[in-house]
Chains A and B, each alone.
Chain A
């Protein structure tokens, strides 16, 4: 079950990293430090305000995109590794 364990560890690391970005964009930039960021202009808007009403949503969409893309790659890689590793069972069979 080597492959499966490593797969899950990488999956957790990826998820954690993406959630850190989620928290920084959604809560850090848009709520906790919005007053400080509002001193910076983004186009004609205060940056903190723009993050809260626009930017954070774009970041959220991007995060899900990256998650789907990277997880898909990890799945394919894990299937390859499982095929080459002879003495261990491949990932558990499909249950539908």
Chain B
């Protein structure tokens, strides 16, 4: 059977499974719709969190980025895992004890202010929409590449599937399809990696096989006039590596679609353990990714060392050139730099099984895995958008008297609307969507993270401090990123207005926004009256997890 036929099989089977699970987990109450009835077992929530968290970017793009960045790629590896330590130790158990439905819920109650709740809801919606548009586009790309379906139709199929289980099952449907999606994506990621590790070194564990490949890779990079793969700070300064890593960590801990997963478990203990399961499940992919990155770089450079410019005639180069993701320059590929220039980072994960000549069924798996990663993340984000609109803005501010039935209806309607908007944004991306990573993590780090941490660990934090800190953090981060990426974000600009802020680039500048938020919040809180007694008692209660 051909790769395409196998892809139809893997995608068809997995999609049928998602629809079936979605249908089986339909819900009838808002508690079921927003927090899956708070009955999700810790290990299932761990798997769901892992799928929720690992997006098309983790699955498709990350190994490719690392492959080309070498050591500096560690910013993603550590940034997107280290954040779980912050989440597990500083946020998740306490938010579970607080036990409402959304992140703006916590902000609104802890800072006794509807204004703070609305600011938080708007930040949640903005962060989630930037992020989700990329996922829908990822679905379109995956369908287009492997099944030769037009991009728009691919996005539409993804929309229908997500809408089906999200509208019917809300958080419950999303949770259990995410568990299935985790299994699909981790299988699809590790099987090719193991196969390649075996082929290259005879050792089936990619994490161990990389030890054997690194010296060879370093040697071949030297021969071709490149610097050592393992040399630190070749593309990013030490300061930027530090800032980006910290920003991605704090951003991870502040992303609403991740935090809200911890509301779905039974109690505080389960929240702590599901953070462990989540990072363990994520760690399987994240420790495999740097191995995949090395294997791919080694394969490609070795072919170039053997073939020289004739590498351009290899069938995988030709196939990808046809899709536009490999661009062979006019004069052919003469140097290693030109070779690396010619290859789009995104093809590394998708093309490696092909480059290593693995069987068609393995190549087809990768497509199903990429789709699982994109759909699971999209559904988690869509739930955050719908709950911010239906629960925080409609249910708490516009119509607090709404009946349960009405709330559930509005929730379903909003998630449907969000799916449609996300699909449209995927097909017609706005400029800022290209800057997803910088915006989503920078804004989450600069807004939610400080407000929640201080809200739990510092009783003196009050309404005035939170609103001032959150606003300054959000505005500072938004403005500096927009200025640094003016060519993509501000219409009519073709170069950045600002290169860096105190040496920190757009991806890491959220850290400065976060520090500003902390400083302003502490300063303003100390100059204004203490929070009411009831709020201080709430903070006390959140700290003790008694069953």
| Interface positions of A (Cβ within 8 A of B) | 4, 7-8, 11-12, 15, 18-19, 22, 26-27, 30-32, 34-35, 38, 43-46, 48-49, 52-54, 56-58, 60-61, 63-65, 67-68, 71-72, 75, 78-79, 90-96
Q: How far is the CA of A82 from the CA of B181 in the complex (A)?
A: 44
The answer to whether B276 and A44 touch across the interface, beta carbons within 8 angstroms, is no
> In the complex, what residues of A have CB within 8 A of residue B272's CB?
64, 67-68, 71-72
Q: Which residues of A contact B242 (CB under 8 A)?
A: 27, 31-32
User: In the complex, what residues of B have CB within 8 A of residue A7's CB?
Assistant: 544
Query: Is B139's beta carbon under 8 Å from chain A?
Result: no
The residue in A7, A54, A79, A94 that gathers the most chain B C-beta atoms within 10 A of its C-beta is A54
Complexed CA–CA distance, A22 and B89 (Å): 11
* A53 x B241 contact (CB < 8 A): no
B268 surroundings in chain A (CB, below 8 A): 75
- In the assembled complex, 29 residue pairs joining A and B whose CB atoms fall closer than 8 Å, in A order, are A7-B544, A8-B543, A19-B89, A22-B82, A26-B82, A31-B241, A31-B245, A38-B230, A45-B210, A49-B232, A52-B78, A53-B71, A54-B287, A56-B78, A56-B82, A57-B81, A57-B287, A58-B283, A60-B81, A63-B89, A64-B88, A64-B275, A64-B276, A67-B272, A68-B88, A68-B276, A71-B93, A91-B546, A93-B546
Interface 0/1 of B188-223, CB less than 8 Å to A = 000000000000000000010011101100000000
Q: Are A49 and B230 in touch, CB under 8 angstroms?
A: yes
Residues B543 and A11 in contact, CB atoms below 8 Å apart: yes
- Whole-angstrom distance between the alpha carbons of A92 and B84 in the complex? 28
Distance in angstroms from A42 CB to nearest chain B CB is 8
Closest to A50 in B: B211
Bound complex: CA A26 to CA B84 (Å): 12
CB distance from A76 to the nearest CB of B (A): 10
Q: How far is the CA of A48 from the CA of B72 in the complex (A)?
A: 12
Check A54 against B290 for contact (C-beta < 8 Å): yes
Instruction: Check A18/B541 contact, CB under 8 A, given A26-B78, A61-B283.
Output: no
Cβ–Cβ contact B230 & A46, under 8 A: yes
Chain A residue nearest to B546 in the complex (CB): A91
For chain B, which range describes its interface: under 10, 10 to 19, 20 to 34, or 35 or more residues? 35 or more
CA distance A95 to B540 in the complex (A): 12
Whether B212 pairs with A18 at a CB distance below 8 angstroms is no
Given contacts A26-B78, A61-B280, A61-B283, 14 further A-B contacts (CB under 8 A): A38-B232, A49-B232, A53-B66, A53-B73, A54-B290, A56-B78, A57-B81, A57-B287, A61-B279, A64-B276, A65-B276, A78-B544, A94-B547, A95-B99
Contact across chains for A57 and B77 when beta carbons are under 8 A apart: yes
Which 8 A-B pairs have CB atoms at the shortest separation, nearest pair first? A52-B74, A68-B272, A49-B230, A53-B290, A91-B546, A64-B88, A64-B276, A43-B211
Residues 285-317 of B, flagged 1 when their CB comes within 8 A of A and 0 if not, give: 011001000000000000000000000000000
- Measured between beta carbons, the chain A residues less than 8 angstroms from B88 are 64, 67-68
Q: Please, how many angstroms separate the alpha-carbon atoms of A96 and B100 in the complex?
A: 10
Which A residues lie within 8 Å of B85 (CB)? 18-19, 22, 60, 63-64
**Max chain A C-beta neighbours (<10 A), residue from B73, B90, B272, B273:** B272
Looking at the complex, which one of B214, B276, B541, B545 makes contact with A75 (CB distance below 8 Å)? Answer: B545
Q: Cβ of A67: which chain B residues have Cβ within 8 Å of it?
A: 88-89, 272, 276
Nearest CB of B to A96, in Å: 6
Is B357 an interface position by the 8 A CB rule? no
Contacts of B214 in A (CB 8 A): 44-45, 49
**Residues from chain B with Cβ under 8 Å of A34 in the complex:** 71, 232
B406 at interface by CB-CB < 8 Å: no
In the bound complex, do residue A72 and residue B544 qualify as a contact, i.e. CB atoms below 8 Å apart? no
